[in-house]
Chains A and B, each alone.
Chain A
């Protein structure tokens, strides 16, 4: 059996068994050894027990999609194989100890017994199992053991020499076992290494959003913890001092967003991180941002609902929540980064746009993107210039000055001679409450007219495929790579992809693509086809077919390949 170009490794165990630790060490060392890596996990909403798995795809060319297929499966717990039975084929090589193999699989000819527990016990403690496990994989893939040793030294140096040495021993034992497995078994690995990759950066979707925000000058974060959004706040809290960012966990989501809006009023660049349930509580304040024309950036990492739904799973079901959140009418922007590199760039753009247009801006992500990692070159990580839109006020400053331009200059308290009066009730140019009909009309127009300008700056959807298409697949957000890879696999001459990284307002450039298609198919991780509905609202185009999934799991390339083919065949 030859494993070529890309190998999908899945590690499975209980929460608390250290699967994440292995994921971290393996992705780093495999990358430093010259492989492209992609990792994504699926996990249960519990602290201990259950079954969690992580997929690591190692490839010669950059591969950034979730694969259903498993080439190498490492099990650390009985039940893992049953949990993954839909993904195990007769080609899957299973590494594990007898006690971690479910009965139904005991006579599988592809099982290779790896005595991880025994090796770690001999070294002194079952705690070393993770290091042994990582060592085995690194041995199989002919990585540099020295790199792993250095990693372990750095990681455990604080815990003392003995712990370091025991880990080095565990690494070596595992590594040698991995080499032996490769030699003794009937599979061969044929992956090219590329030395240049070792300088690349490994980022998760979560880290990309956090770093993008920091780069854009985000300096105030208020949040109430909620999976899968908390990672961004955790990351920024960790760097709070050196980056000069106030990160405060507050009493509830309502406080979080009102604080963030307050911070913008005083001249900060505030961010709130949340997920659907938390965002539901924030909707009132989105409206405050809209009426007062005070910017705010909301990182909304989606997970399935309704209610608390599936706390650790993924979905794209909150587009309409973001789109219609807040009462009354006012413009907003909703970005839906589909890639980690794009999450970094869009997080920067989001702050500039919020500042420029004085509106709420959403970064609509999801659990899948938040928990996915891969390596990126410096060229892929684009820097956006930080724009400053705050003005120093004059004595006669009016916060809501009316002019041809719907954007009034935004002053902040204590910067200039003016008084900055901001009001959530309908107001006059100065900011005082008004019920004057003429002013009500003017102010409503002023706020809503911004949308025309914003639309001109909307990120155009990405078109991929032959210009002579008949079928057009439309997708948004984090399904980008799986859809793209599935279409590449299918290699259909008459089918193209239109992918949206900004779902509101939608760039006018989308229209020509939609109107040209004979058949439009939307692919979304929700039940009702929310993007499809939005496209109909905006352009009058009907979806002819839909590929929708709402079981909390991400799309795999194989699943999409099959479903797209089926839809096109009719």
Chain B
């Protein structure tokens, strides 16, 4: 087997718990990047806070470990500043759906060509087991001792309703499928959202590895261009469908912003247009 350049060879202290689904996601992601023949120097992972946010430290890749919920705005800017980079925004369900919910909605509208990976274990792990926006109703937690009453966020339905350009869900337990979907997501031009179910053995005693196996299935023969059908599928919760729900082609942010319309050189490589500035200055004389 070919060497995977995204695997960190030096000893690193991984802070994930034994049995955490993040290990499988890490394997799927680094395999996907390797299979895409990408060069680690040209990939940037911008992450939020939480256990998922630590991903850029555990594989060989450029990384920006930002604030809780803020990976998407930062990743959008990274891609826009240098469209030659492959940019991934990564975080957990709290990161992307709670603190960063507004950014996710508007990133869908803006449609930069980035891939958003959401580690969805339906619980807050790093802060020790509080409910997240995707925790199921009546789940008891230390901070919701009488059980969660808020309806879980259906991010797949939300994304399809906003006409996001790539919407998928997968399960960390299926490393090959997850890898395949990540490859598709990165190859897709436009914002790609991949919600990844994964168990939290320490704090989520409801949605266990076994539970996910029993309550999910991969879509087969589904037409990813049929938005209505995709929306219908997104409403199914027993079992939860997995796979690519929906894709569409839309203008991409970094293609349509004025500086890139006729000139493709990444803006970070350009020097200020002194002539034009002079021209503007001169227009202020008359």
Contacts and interface: CB of A to CB of B under 8 A. Distances in A.
B12 interface: yes
Interface string B64-94: 1111001001111111111011000000000
Interface string A220-255: 101000000000000000011111111110111011
Contact of B77 (A32, A240, A270): A270
B21 interface: no
B41 A262 contact: no
Interface in A354-386: 381, 386
Interface residues of A, number: 68
Contacts of A425: 65
B280 A244 contact: no
Given A417-B41, A420-B62, A258 B73 contact: yes
A217 interface: yes
A251 B69 CA distance: 14
A381 B277 CA distance: 13
A568 B65 CA distance: 55
B3 interface: no
Contact of B57 (A222, A413, A421): A421
B160 interface: no
A239 B286 contact: no
Interface size band for B? 35 or more
Contact of B62 (A241, A256, A260, A419): A419
A419 B281 contact: no
Contact of A203 (B77, B79, B261, B284): B284
A416 B42 CA distance: 10
Contacts of B64: 262, 265, 292, 294, 421-423
A89 to B, nearest CB: 34
A547 to B, nearest CB: 34
B40 interface: yes
A254 B103 CA distance: 9
A214 interface: yes
A250 B73 contact: yes
Interface stretch (A71-79, A194-202, A528-536): A194-202
B85 A266 contact: yes
A422 B66 CA distance: 8
B137 interface: no
B82 A267 contact: yes
Contacts of B103: 251, 254-255
Nearest to B40: A419
Contacts of B285: 198-202
Contact of B267 (A244, A255, A416): A244
A199 B282 CA distance: 9
Contacts of A246: 80-81, 257-259, 267
Contact of A263 (B78, B272, B281, B284): B78
Contacts of A270: 77
Contacts of A256: 73
A211 B259 contact: no
Contacts of B60: 419
A358 B276 CA distance: 28
A376 to B, nearest CB: 9
A5 B273 CA distance: 40
Given A28-B286, A220-B267, A239-B280, A266 B272 contact: no
Contacts of B270: 219, 244
A268 interface: yes
B274 interface: yes
B272 A215 contact: yes
B258 A288 contact: no
A433 interface: yes
A259 B15 CA distance: 28
B2 interface: no
B268 A267 contact: yes
Given A266-B78, A414-B82, A419 B61 contact: yes
Contact of B73 (A217, A255, A417, A432): A255
Nearest to B57: A432
B271 interface: yes
B259 A262 contact: no
B259 A207 contact: no
Nearest to A219: B267
A215 B274 contact: yes
Interface string B1-44: 00000000000100100000000000000000000000011111
A419 B103 CA distance: 27
Nearest to A200: B285
B243 to A, nearest CB: 29
Contact of B259 (A240, A252, A386, A422): A240
A266 B102 contact: no
A421 B63 contact: yes
A208 B44 CA distance: 35
Interface in B101-121: 102-103, 105-106, 110
A50 interface: no
A1 to B, nearest CB: 33
Interface in A413-440: 413-414, 416-425, 431-433
A265 B43 CA distance: 13
B213 to A, nearest CB: 32
Contact of B258 (A240, A381, A414, A432): A240
A79 B73 CA distance: 47
B56 A262 contact: no
B238 interface: no
B263 interface: yes
B46 interface: yes
A93 to B, nearest CB: 30
Q: Most chain-A CB neighbours within 10 Å: which of B70, B102, B277?
A: B70
Interface of B: 12, 15, 40-44, 46, 49, 54, 56-57, 60-67, 70, 73-82, 84-85, 102-103, 105-106, 110, 257-259, 261, 263, 266-274, 276-277, 280-282, 284-286
5 contacts: A240-B257, A242-B273, A266-B44, A381-B281, A419-B40
Interface of A: 28, 32, 198-203, 207, 211, 214-220, 222, 239-248, 250-252, 254-256, 258-263, 265-268, 270, 284-285, 288, 292, 294, 381, 386, 412-414, 416-425, 431-433
The 7 closest A-B CB pairs, nearest first, are: A267-B268, A262-B74, A262-B77, A413-B62, A266-B81, A241-B258, A251-B106
